[in-house]
């Protein structure tokens, strides 16, 4: 026996409910996008603040901020994580090999020998991951080898300038849309502007990190030349 066709009132009611669900889903997606943009912005601000704080601590010679663990003999050791780990590894690479490539395992052992500690199930893998994420370091030609990237600073400075230009354009467009455009278009531009701000903070933090690494290396070279 064939299934009876739904009545016209039932179809209209179902379509009405579908339209309502579509509007609700669209609203939720917009709210989620806005919240994600805010979360990305806060994360970028936090990383930028931590990077600048650590940079100033290094420049002024004050102790670093990360947590400490005790060694077997009770002597506290410096625990490296995230940007601090990348900065220490890059500076060790600069002081040890200049711009020559070295195997990551050798660099890892050197960083540990300086009294540093890495946490996690596989500290060597954590170290390698951070090397790959460092804005100052690139892969060498041989497998497992890494070296400093002397082109990192001008490249990041160019990215920062381009992002600043995009941000200025986004601000001008948002001002025009606020006067003559729709609220939906204004919200889209605000979200785009927030993403650009977040991108700018990440680039600035990376640029500060790269400048610190190469400046630290330059200071070390100058000290050696003065001592000679």
Which residues constitute the domain of residue 135?
Answer: 68-148
pTM, two decimal places: 0.58
Q: Does the residue 192 lie in any domain?
A: no
Q: What is the pLDDT of residue 87?
A: 87
Give 39-42's long-range contacts (Cβ < 8 A, gap of 24+).
40/194, 40/195, 40/198, 41/194, 41/197, 41/198, 41/201
Domain count within the chain:
1
**Which residues does the chain have with pLDDT short of 50?**
66-76, 217-228
Q: Does the residue 100 lie in any domain?
A: yes
Q: Does the residue 180 lie in any domain?
A: no
> What pLDDT digit, counting tens, does each position of 79-98 carry?
888 888 888 899 888 888 88
Q: Does the residue 121 lie in any domain?
A: yes
Domain of residue 84, CATH code? 1.10.10
Q: Does the residue 132 lie in any domain?
A: yes
The partner residues of 69 in beta bridges, in order of sequence, read: 77
Q: Does the residue 111 lie in any domain?
A: yes
């Amino acid at each position: 026996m064939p299934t009876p066709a739904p009545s016209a009132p039932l179809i209209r009611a179902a379509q009405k409910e579908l339209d309502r669900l579509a509007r609700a889903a669209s609203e939720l997606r917009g709210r989620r996008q806005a919240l994600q943009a805010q979360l990305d912005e806060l994360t970028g601000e936090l990383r930028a603040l931590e990077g600048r704080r650590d940079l100033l601590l290094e420049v002024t010679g004050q102790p670093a901020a990360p947590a400490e663990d005790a060694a077997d003999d009770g002597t506290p050791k410096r625990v490296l994580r995230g940007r601090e780990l990348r900065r220490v590894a890059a500076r060790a690479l600069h002081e040890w090999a200049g711009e020559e490539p070295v195997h990551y395992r050798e660099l890892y052992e050197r960083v540990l020998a300086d009294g540093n500690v890495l946490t996690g199930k596989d500290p060597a893998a954590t170290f390698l991951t951070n090397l790959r994420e460092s804005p100052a370091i690139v892969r060498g030609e041989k497998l497992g080898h890494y070296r400093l990237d002397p082109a990192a600073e001008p490249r990041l400075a160019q990215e920062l300038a381009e992002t600043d230009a995009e941000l200025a354009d986004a601000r001008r467009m948002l001002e025009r849309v606020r006067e003559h455009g729709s609220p939906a278009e204004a919200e889209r531009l605000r979200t785009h502007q927030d993403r650009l701000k977040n991108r700018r903070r990440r680039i600035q933090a990376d640029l500060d990190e790269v400048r610190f690494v190469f400046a630290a290396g330059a200071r070390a070279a100058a000290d050696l030349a003065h001592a000679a």
